[in-house]
Copies of this chain bind each other. A is one copy, B any other.
């Protein structure tokens, strides 16, 4: 007989979210072994209230085997008090600020496919987000120091790093699904090569080593098949055309790609880059992001903020309908791991998956304290990274540059040292080619668009 655990409390910071919150509610409803309360905290309480309504409606449905009570609140203390878990998934700043992050650099010839992690957009976004996370960390320290904290916000690395800098004893880690997509790609590759169907993404075993959105796989296997030699052929075969399960599908969504960036990185560096091409491209000099045309050639997309605004708008409309009970949606696993992670931390299963936590030796040649992404064993009240090894010298060069920049941005934000921020900014591989003078001008323009700095 399987255990049932009741009265679990989850505090959700950013509980008015239009995306993650729904996926979580969906997955919670599908997990029969756990029930309790979700406190949805948001600086936009109305959005949280709508999500609470949707959640409670959902919980009433018969097929919802996991029963939860959703409560919206604008008071972080209330949300955090007695929480067993804290989920953080916020949008740091306005769409206007995000538009500046992504599009102002275009005037200087810098194109960004996402703009939320590194590159000029990611850095300015980080400068804006770190003070918010500083406050969140202080609240958690005060109101729920024993809770497990799961971060989904980008820039993942610096959000998680800030939590630990402010409250070193925090039990926090960051989660990202980019590695999962690469596991799916490897599963597709196995099926192509062997004709055999891979049943579960999790059966593609990978060693994850790097930093979020720029992490790498240096060992991969499916059962007794070593996937690296297979990938070597695969990456060569599809270097020019790219690979998609459904050919042409990359063109249909701004979030999709044909994996050409990943293949090119493998052909040059010999490791599998473990994130979507949109993210990977931003960590490199403008090879893949030289121009919008080149982006198309490499078969991925820039994500205009207009798209995000429209997307948000339509999501909000659906939210309103759903909250009013006017829209029915089917329950189905979201593909996210949040609820499986919660189940593992509650002791219901053992889970080996990738997380973002401060380096304590799991990556031998990255600095201690830097937030890195590797596998970890998750069990009752425990997240233990595995020793992932060392990055090879050339990849180490690519990754450690961003690690240094991120550490510089952290210091700049916490000490409010603008020169330090600029020094990181000009060391970014997308920024460097425009030269010091232009970079400084761009920096100032973007900083002017970022409030409260």
Contacts and interface: CB of A to CB of B under 8 A. Distances in A.
Interface of A: 3, 5, 205, 207, 219, 221-226, 268-270, 285-287, 290, 346-348, 350, 352, 360-362, 364-365, 367, 375-377, 379-382, 384-388, 392-394, 396-398, 400-401, 404-405, 407-408, 410-411, 419-420, 423-424, 426-427, 429, 432-433, 435-436
Contacts of A411: 392-393
Given A221-B381, A224-B346, 9 more contacts: A205-B347, A221-B380, A222-B347, A225-B347, A285-B432, A287-B436, A365-B367, A384-B388, A397-B404
Nearest to A5: B224
A429 B205 CA distance: 36
- Among A207, A360, A361, A382, chain B packs the most CB atoms within 10 A around the CB of A361
B427 A394 contact: yes
Nearest to A421: B394
A401 B394 contact: no
Contacts of A352: 350, 352, 377
Contact of A408 (B346, B377, B394): B394
* Interface residue SS majority, chain A: mixed
A347 B223 contact: yes
A398 B387 CA distance: 25
Contact of A379 (B221, B346, B401): B221
Name the 8 nearest CB pairs between A and B, nearest first. Answer: A361-B361, A397-B404, A221-B380, A224-B347, A394-B423, A393-B408, A384-B386, A393-B407
Given A224-B3, A268-B419, A361-B361, A205 B380 contact: yes
Nearest to A222: B347
A290 B364 CA distance: 37
Q: Report the copy number of this chain in the oligomer.
A: 4
Nearest to A366: B367
A435 B287 contact: yes
B364 A360 contact: yes
A407 B401 contact: no
A397 B377 CA distance: 28
A83 to B, nearest CB: 16
A270 B5 CA distance: 28
Contacts of A426: 285
B347 A269 contact: no
B377 A223 contact: no
Contacts of A347: 205, 221-225
A297 to B, nearest CB: 13
Contact of A377 (B222, B285, B375): B375
Contacts of A223: 3, 347-348, 380
Contacts of A290: 435
A386 to B, nearest CB: 4
10 contacts: A224-B347, A287-B435, A361-B361, A377-B377, A377-B386, A393-B420, A394-B423, A396-B404, A400-B400, A400-B401
A421 B380 CA distance: 31
A366 to B, nearest CB: 10
B205 A427 contact: no
Nearest to A346: B224
Contacts of A392: 411
Contacts of A420: 393-394
A302 to B, nearest CB: 19
Contacts of A224: 3, 5, 346-348, 380
Contacts of A364: 360-361
A205 B379 contact: yes
A412 B231 CA distance: 23
Contact of A401 (B207, B362, B401, B435): B401
Contacts of A268: 419, 423
Contacts of A419: 268, 270
B387 A362 contact: yes
A15 B368 CA distance: 42
B408 A427 contact: no
Nearest to A349: B223
